[in-house]
Amino acid sequence: MRRNKSNKISTSSVSYIPEEVLINILARLPVKSLLRFRCVSKIWCGLIGSPSFVRTHLNRNVTKLSHTYLIALQRLREKPALCYSLFSTETFEECLKLRHPLWTEEQFRIYGWSNGLLCISDQVLRPSSPICIWNPCIRKFRTLPQSRFKAHYSSYDISLSFGFNPKVNDYRVVRMGWFVRSIFKLQVYSVNTGSWKMIEVIPPWLMFNPDWCQGCAFVNGVAYWLFTKSMKFRFVSFDTDSEEFEELIVPDTISTIGLTRVRVYNDSVCLFYSYVESPDRQNLQEQTDIWILQGQSFTKLHTAVLLPGSLPLGFNIQNELIIRNGKRTEGVEGDTWKMVLYDLKMKLITETGIGLAYDSHSQTSAGTCIESLVLLDR
């Protein structure tokens, strides 16, 4: 490739690279380099920001598991505040602190992640809480319009789920709310249309006030919630394509006495059921049964026997179990838990050294994020 006297790359020589070769080269690069290379020429800028290249770059990262990060909620050392950070999946070194995209000091929570996008909102969800879809790697975000949830309800339970719908190539946010007098509301935000849609047809069997929402997930265009009502589980799904609701049966061996959460494993929704087992009535073991949804029923995938104080948080992109290890120390500042990874097939544990903090509601968060250019073309 020719260079001129100022030692800069000549754009005329760059233009002679066949487009298919150029795409093959650029698709292998990290996002940070691609953002810089948009300044090479108008051709490169248009190519890197095109929807087709955004998809090509993302698909390669997903297939090759390239440019991936671990996400962890941590406590800042310089002041008593919490901050999400991205860590290398190879060296476990910190790569980026996630500052609020609106450049405020507000504490936020991540309610879902998909293809490099994060869905964030207030730590405590209210009818008026702002919602933001954010790609931290390209520093681009979209603030969602205010929803039609009325803010004058005195009692409510609100949940957010977020993910990708491959059938229509769209990212969706599903906002669910139970209010007083068994009023149920649900609306769906589409990134493609940039607007909310209120779901008007609600099945009568959904008109109940749950005691507690145990968690939610979004998989392949379907949102899932797990509720408890009168010491019993109710597992509900909503298809954002057909706009149909369905109630699924939770396995009988899962009891409300233990801790049950909704997670995602290998593009399928799964349940974590954590409980204490005493095989010899002396040594207590903390165990977690992992149930995966196959069709209309759940199948037990694995039972993990953990050290005291450990708790599974989810799976990384390599389908390794992310575990919160250690015990919380009351009144002690800083990260009192550590993140470890557990390979279900090889039964190997990897210590990451990554600290985990807990928020004001004693909740900690960890997951994975993959680099992408999504939102750059919108």
Query: Where residue 209 falls among pLDDT bands split at 50, 70, 90?
Result: confident
Measure CA 203 to chain center.
28
Tokens of 70: 């671990």
Q: What is the spatial distance between Cα 216 and Cα 43, in angstroms, rounded to a whole number?
A: 43
Query: Where residue 358 falls among pLDDT bands split at 50, 70, 90?
Result: confident
Q: What is the spatial distance between Cα 129 and Cα 172, in angstroms, rounded to a whole number?
A: 17
Of 98, 117, 94, 95, nearest to 106 by C-alpha is: 98
Query: Where residue 38 falls among pLDDT bands split at 50, 70, 90?
Result: very high
Check whether 320 has a pLDDT greater than 70. Answer: yes
Measure CA 54 to chain center.
20
Say whether 181 sits in a helix, a strand or coil.
Answer: helix
Class of 62-370 in CATH = mainly beta
> With contact defined as beta carbons under 8 Å apart, do 162 and 174 qualify?
yes
Query: Where residue 10 falls among pLDDT bands split at 50, 70, 90?
Result: very low
Measured CA to CA in angstroms, residue 286 lies from 138, 231, 303, 365 at distances of 41, 22, 10, 20
Of 47, 36, 40, 45, nearest to 8 by C-alpha is: 40
Tokens of 310: 């450990």
Of 102, 106, 169, nearest to 142 by C-alpha is: 102
Query: Where residue 172 falls among pLDDT bands split at 50, 70, 90?
Result: very high
Residue 43 exposed, middle or buried by CB count within 10 Å (0-12, 13-18, 19+): middle
pLDDT tens string 273-311 = 998 877 666 677 788 999 999 988 999 999 988 887 788
Characterise 185 by phi-psi region: left (phi > 0), alpha (psi -120 to 50), beta (else): beta
Check whether 360 has a pLDDT greater than 80. Answer: no
pLDDT at 308: 79
What order do you get walking across the sheet with 195-198 strand by strand?
A: 156-165, 170-179, 183-190, 195-198
Of 371, 316, 370, 376, nearest to 344 by C-alpha is: 316
Among the residue ranges 168-182, 216-230, 282-296, 354-368, the one predicted with the least confidence is 354-368
Measured CA to CA in angstroms, residue 71 lies from 61, 134, 165, 225 at distances of 17, 14, 22, 23
Q: What is the spatial distance between Cα 300 and Cα 289, in angstroms, rounded to a whole number?
A: 7
According to DSSP, the β-strands at 195-198 and 94-98 are unpaired
